[in-house]
Amino acid sequence: MATLSPLSFLATTKVSLCSPSNAPNRHRIAKVSCNASNPQEQQSPQNNNNIILGNRRDVLVGLGGLSAVAAANFSYNPFASAEPVAPDVEGCNKPTLPPGAKPIACCPPNFEKKESIDYIIPNYETLRIRKPAHDYDDLEKYKEAVKIMKSLPDDHPHSWTQQSRVHCAYCGNSYHQHGHTEVAMQVHNSWIFLPFHRWYLYFYERILGKLIDDPNFAIPFWNWDAPEGMEIPSIFTDKSSPLYNALRNHNHQPPTLINLNWNGADVDRSGDVGENLAIMYRQATSLSPYSSKTGSGSIELVPHNTVHDWIGDTTQPNFEDMGALYSAARDPIFYGHHANIDRMWSIWKSFGRNDITDPDYQNASYVFYDENENLVRVKNSDAFDTKKLGYDYKQLDLPWLDAKPTPRVANAQRNIRIVKKLDLPFTLLKDKIVSTVVKRPKINRSQVEKDDKEESLVFSLQFDRTKHLKFDVLINEEEDYKWANPKYREFAGSFVNVSHAASPDAAVTETTFSIGITGLLEQLDADDEESIVVTLVPQYGDEVIVKDITISFDECDLQ
Ligand code: C2O
């Protein structure tokens, strides 16, 4: 068991930022999505206005942008001057909801009538320490605060309904981006995912504290990355508690172990502790960024998305509540789940990574009602340090640091037979495992080069974002191997979509998904191979068009 807390880890270890993984002393860490050598990101406005038009839109909004179809009809360049993402506070519209959802309103009360003011972070003298839900000593306070929240009228800015609607509005196309009525605000599937949710939980916690008159009140986190936390914490399952929610998958009640790699059905096999830890190792130490401009970071896809889908009630049209983003925050477990996602961001930083310096990222901003009912605007750059926001996480062991995946077969014995080789682009159909060969521009790079740049496998995908979807990626795996088992190093990562709200004409969307493979290829003894076999294993949900799979080299050094 690894006993170093993230911070002591930092203090005792020189972290090599881009070199092959030898955790815990050498983490593979990505610079987050700047200077990507993905050719799509290298287009400059001078070179090609049309391309930059499409790309800038994607860059700014991730999945919130226009559909591929709509984008083609776009007639002027809204990004002539680059602006960071910000909701247009003059306007909030009814959300677009996934098919079958009951109509709801999501805009904050009196939003149109209020001016937002720049938020000034109070000078916190005492840190609120967030503790794991399975060992949480403030339960009575939390229950009391949520009970009060739930008793407030729906149109009160602090009511439970309003808290959940904040999330609905930011992911349901209720806001558009500042100055661009045609571009929806979307806080998922891009690099604003972590900072937005940090601010969201911050105000949730501040409001709860205000309601019980305890400014030091701290919410718990669901510690699903440690064996003790790998079932739904009992604080959320007591039916008489305000923290209970009935719309959850009935097969996943305690003591059922969470499956961080959930594949949409419990029939074949469920996860085990070792698998969950291996997944955490891969996702949390991966060089694929925690967030990227054009797509989700590793932690957003897994376990963030998989946990949403594992909790959601599959008898509901879109796995409501947790299984659909518009409804997820109605379930109190949402805030426990996201507190652990937020904690992962803190842990990631304790490994020596720096914040993204791109002004589009730094200045991205959001508006919330604070605990004093002021409509306040906050920005990403103020969210980088939890201590500045007056809170921290209880330091715990990170058992996944010892759970590094290992190769399933030794390379000498590896027998890669490609039964069905597909050329790009292709449609990944349900139930059809396919493989393709990807040529590597460089092999056997020197250690210096590897320390400087991470080799990444970049997928360009097109799919319907209102539908659930998961596929796994295997590298150099043998074709007749049926299970994509995350314990093994050949399992490189997963793409997961949680149902998003979208109007029917904007349901089709495009995103990129990248996986760092420098260390993986070394561990598979394949660094001298000129091409690799990439196998895609559809697990559940809709079809996805794989438009391209390329290799890019991303800067590793932090700014
Ligand atoms: Cu905003 Cu877990 O989603």
What pLDDT shows up at residue 270? 59
Ligand 1 atom closest to the CA of 167, numbered from 1: 1
The atom number, within ligand 1, closest to the CA of 305 reads 2
Looking at ligand 1, which atom is closest to the CA of residue 308?
Answer: 2
The rounded radius of gyration (Å) of the Cα atoms in the chain is 22
DSSP string computed for 130-176: E-BGGG-TTHHHHHHHHHHHHHS-TTSTTSHHHHHHHHHHHHTT-SE
Q: How far apart are the CA of 304 and the centre of ligand 1, in A?
A: 8
Considering the entire predicted model, what is its pTM?
0.85
Question: Closest ligand 1 atom to the C-alpha of 171?
Answer: 1
Residues 6+ positions from 17 with CB-CB distance below 8 Å = 27, 29, 31, 352, 353, 451, 556, 557, 558
The rounded distance, in Å, linking the Cα atoms of 438 and 400 is 30
The per-residue pLDDT for 83 is 66
Q: How far is CA 166 from CA 21, 33, 145, 200, 500, in A?
A: 39, 27, 18, 8, 15
Report residue 351 as tokens: 């490994």
- Expressed in angstroms and rounded, the spacing between residue 498 Cα and the centre of ligand 1 is 9
Residue 534 dihedral angles phi and psi, to the nearest 5°: -110, 120
- Ligand 1 midpoint to CA 325 (Å): 6
Pairing of strands 180-184, 176-177: antiparallel
Q: Which residues of the chain have pLDDT under 50?
A: 1-81, 557-559
In whole angstroms, give the CA distance from residue 273 to residue 257.
8
Which residues lie with the beta carbon below 6 Å from any ligand 1 atom?
A: 167, 171, 187-188, 197, 304, 308, 325, 328, 338
| Closest to 281 in 3D by CA, of 22, 10, 13, 551 | 22
How far, in Å, is the centroid of ligand 1 from the Cα of 289? 18
Q: What is the pLDDT of residue 46?
A: 28
Q: What is the spatial distance between Cα 552 and Cα 482, in angstroms, rounded to a whole number?
A: 29
Quote the pLDDT of residue 155. Answer: 93
Å from CA of 4 to ligand 1 middle: 29
Work out which ligand 1 atom sits closest to the CA atom of 196: 1
Nearest CA to ligand 1 atom 3: 325
Cα–Cα distance for residue pair 201/339, rounded to 1 Å: 7
Please check whether residue 356 is in contact with residue 255, taking contact to mean a CB–CB distance below 8 angstroms. no
**Nearest ligand 1 atom to alpha carbon 304:** 2
Residue 369 phi, psi dihedral angles, 5° rounding: -85, 130
Does residue 555 sit in helix, strand or coil? Answer: strand
Q: How far is the CA of 414 from the centre of ligand 1 (A)?
A: 40
For every residue of 364-427, DSSP letters joined together read -EEEEE-TTS-EEEEEGGGSS-TTTTTEEE-----GGGG---B-SS-GGG-----SSB-PSSEE
- Determine the longest span between alpha carbons in the chain, in angstroms: 69
Q: How far is the CA of 49 from the centre of ligand 1 (A)?
A: 33
Q: Cα of 188 to ligand 1 centre, how many Å?
A: 7
Task: Name the DSSP letter for residue 105.
Answer: -
